[in-house]
Amino acid sequence: AQTVTQSQPEMSVQEAETVTLSCTYDTSESDYYLFWYKQPPSRQMILVIRQEAYKQQNATENRFSVNFQKAAKSFSLKISDSQLGDAAMYFCAYRRNTGNQFYFGTGTSLTVIP
Amino acid sequence: EAGVVQSPRYKIIEKKQPVAFWCNPISGHNTLYWYLQNLGQGPELLIRYENEEAVDDSQLPKDRFSAERLKGVDSTLKIQPAELGDSAVYLCASSVSGMGETQYFGPGTRLLVL
């Protein structure tokens, strides 16, 4: 069974600084997809970034980038130039190549300090 | 493009009462998910539909929970009777079936059972 682990329940970062959120997963498959979702206090879950496992290049979206280490089954999210609006819960998610099941981690609560 | 719509946004009921949640997915999304999210936790799948067929309902407490998606578009999740432990946020999400398609979430329904 696929499992997703986020070992940091809480993280904090100074405004304008960089923070990295960790995620590891367990799978026996070679093709899959990984996602980071953000959930602000309003509760709307928003996609931040996604990574295809068959791609070696790390995905980037403006200030958000990932460090995808397939052999280590690690998928960390780096937020550069942190802004107050980045404060939220961040969930790492895994999706199999076939089928539509998603597996979520327990989340990391990010606080941005002004 | 309209996102996933859920109603109501908030619901307060007394225990043993019935309650229903409604979800309208993004147009063209044939996969629909219902999740339960407890405070400080990640989403936990309750049921997944492919069109009108429930293809994964193994985590749905069938003694009190039921769901339907009669025409393969919008869906209703019902709890009868509600228990105190059902207090949580109920999230609906949708995606297009296919390899690696992203899942999009609605704003959720926050249920409080007194």
A46-66 tens-digit pLDDT: 999 999 998 889 999 999 999
Nearest CB to A100 within list B48, B105, B108: B48
Yes or no: say if A100 and B31 are a contact pair by the CB < 8 Å rule.
yes
List phi, psi (to 5°) of B47.
-160, 150
Averaged confidence pLDDT in chain B = 92
Averaged confidence pLDDT in chain A = 92
B30: nearest CA in chain A?
A100
- CA-closest candidate to residue B6, choices B95, B96, B113, B89: B89
State the smallest CA–CA distance between residue B16 and chain A in angstroms.
26
pLDDT at residue B1, rounded to an integer: 63
Give the separation between CA A95 and CA A3, rounded to whole angstroms. Answer: 11
Give the separation between CA A111 and CA A13, rounded to whole angstroms. Answer: 6
| pLDDT (mean) for B95-105 | 81
N- to C-terminal Cα separation, chain A: 41
A63-98 tens-digit pLDDT: 999 999 999 999 999 999 999 999 999 999 998 877
A89: nearest CA in chain B?
B40
Contacts of B44 in chain A (CB under 8 A): 104
| pLDDT (mean) for B70-90 | 94
Give the separation between CA B94 and CA A44, rounded to whole angstroms. Answer: 13
Is A5 strand, coil or helix? Answer: strand
What are the C-alpha distances in Å from A111 to residues A78, A83, B58, B91? 14, 10, 35, 24
The answer to whether residue B100 neighbours chain A at the CB level (below 8 Å) is yes
State the smallest CA–CA distance between residue A11 and chain B in angstroms.
14
Give the separation between CA B72 and CA B33, rounded to whole angstroms. Answer: 12
Yes or no: say if A21 and A6 are a contact pair by the CB < 8 Å rule.
yes
**DSSP labels for A7-26?**
--SEEEEETTS-EEE--EEE
